[in-house]
Amino acid sequence: MDVEEFGRRHLAAGTPDDEIVRLMQGEILDVKCCRVSASYAESFARAVLAEVKNSTGLSGDLYEFEPSGSTMGEFGVGSRGSGDFFAHRELARIIGSTDAAVGVDEMDDAGAVRAGGTYIITTVDGMHSRLSDFPFLAGFHVTRATLRDVYVMGARPIALLSDIHVADDGDVAKIFDYTAGVSAVGEAMGVPLVTGSTLRIGGDMVLGNRLTGCVGAVGVTDHLTARKQIRPGDVLLMTEGAGGGTIATAAIYSGFPEVVEETINLHFLKAAEALIAADILPAIHAMTDVTNGGLRGDAYEMAETAGCRIVVVEDDLRTLVQPQVLAMLDALEIDYLGVSLDALLVVAPREAAPAIVRVVEAAGVRMREIGYVEEGTPESVLSIGGEIHDFTPRFRESAYTPVKKVVDEEKRDFEEMKTGVERAATAALAKKERILERLRKEYSS
């Protein structure tokens, strides 16, 4: 419950002040139950309303932004589909070109800068939003995710950082349980958690017990395995996958809690660690984890970045999904190709493939060839029994909870929304340039 937004909506609608206070007081008492008095709730509501009034109507670059006309949910931001990919490319446009060895414009799993002859890799992953009531799982899976993003750049992780936010009414124990999940993965892989931040969501203004956060990682390497290095003639190799935060969420909210146990493993990290330790690493062109909208999303992004045509062959793909996970996805009619499986995807020359598979399987993880790269229009396609099918990402990743299935039914016109989103990004970029010009003038005089 965001009381600040509550106040702003009612103020904009012309609701009288005393009525806003009365309504807000009721909301506060409802959320906080018997922990606050009616008089406290009223005083709090009046203070919120005063702050809302003081901060309403401010104008200028520092206070206003160009609206896109689309909400995060409507445009699918964070839902690992076409809307999300479009928004991220607009973010890259705002950031612009940099001196990074691997920048945000390449849509890779992590960024890289060169320092003293070594590549320093940085990445950050947000916890799965639906794991708020299960802090240990949230911390465990987001840490595994951020370490994956370092490993797939050909780097060895050396440090973790954690940022956790809990709403005002959340139990303090949530930050402990979350941190225990983060530390469990870090200690298992020998990567220390060295710093972080702990805050409340919205300070005093957001009531409830919602938890959110992220975990970042830093790694080092002398050999990058970034997507831009993919070449025609390469083959795609994929390990078995049992999923992470997404599969755990699907299992919990769809009545398959036993499947959550299958997600508690280090298969991916151990396989990647083995590859980095082996002599075969320099032969690998690129690696990624099958997460962003499933294999549909990752293959699409890889093809776009590398400028090649990627053909995914489905013949053996289903055998690489952990059996209980696959059975759940089939029972729930969830497209396994459009959901995060947390499998390791390696792209390398065909002649290097056998050695790569041997190294991974020696680490106890199954791996199979699942496709190839060829010259042509940058796109990803699916081959089923030799017949080519469309394999572009959907608007959102596969709907994997009952709520997502409902949300997936309501869609606005995507092209119409894109126009507004692009306009808003252009306005933000122009603002950035105005502020930069001001700062440069100030410090050059």
* DSSP output for 271-309: HHHHHHHSTTGGG--EEEES-TTHHHHHHHHHHHHHTSE
Q: What is the pLDDT of residues 162-175, one digit of tens each?
A: 999 999 999 999 99
d(CA 251, CA 328): 8
User: Which are the contacts of 335, defined by CB distance < 8 A and separation ≥ 6?
Assistant: 294, 329, 398
The model's confidence at residue 79, banded by pLDDT at 50, 70 and 90, is confident
> So what's the pLDDT on residue 102?
87
CB-facing half-sphere around the CA of 35: CA atoms within 13 A: 10
Would you say 307 and 229 are in contact if contact means Cβ atoms under 8 Å apart? no
Would you say 182 and 162 are in contact if contact means Cβ atoms under 8 Å apart? yes
Calculate mean pLDDT across residues 349-376: 96
Calculate mean pLDDT across residues 380-392: 92
> So what's the pLDDT on residue 445?
67
> So what's the pLDDT on residue 408?
74
Joined together, the tokens standing for residue 384 give: 């089923």
Percent of the chain with pLDDT over 90: 78
Would you say 309 and 374 are in contact if contact means Cβ atoms under 8 Å apart? yes
d(CA 36, CA 6): 19
Calculate mean pLDDT across residues 84-112: 86
Q: How far is CA 284 from CA 101, 177, 242, 273, 279, in A?
A: 17, 38, 24, 14, 10
- Across all residues in the chain, what is the average pLDDT? 92
Q: What is the pLDDT of residues 258-298, one digit of tens each?
A: 999 999 999 999 999 999 999 899 999 999 999 877 898 88
d(CA 380, CA 382): 7
Q: What is the pLDDT of residues 237-262, one digit of tens each?
A: 999 999 999 999 999 999 999 999 99
Which has more pLDDT, 406 or 53? Answer: 53
Joined together, the tokens standing for residue 78 give: 């964070």
Would you say 140 and 180 are in contact if contact means Cβ atoms under 8 Å apart? no
Would you say 172 and 200 are in contact if contact means Cβ atoms under 8 Å apart? no
Q: What letter would DSSP give residue 210?
A: -
Cα 349 to chain center, whole Å?
Answer: 29
> So what's the pLDDT on residue 312?
96
> So what's the pLDDT on residue 379?
93
d(CA 310, CA 300): 8
- The torsion angle over the Cα atoms of residues 413, 418, 419 and 421, rounded to 10 degrees, is 130
* DSSP helix/strand/coil, 175: helix
Positive or negative, the Cα torsion across 203, 206, 209, 210?
negative
Query: What length does the chain have?
Result: 445
d(CA 23, CA 419): 37
Give the pTM: 0.91
pLDDT at 43 over 90: yes
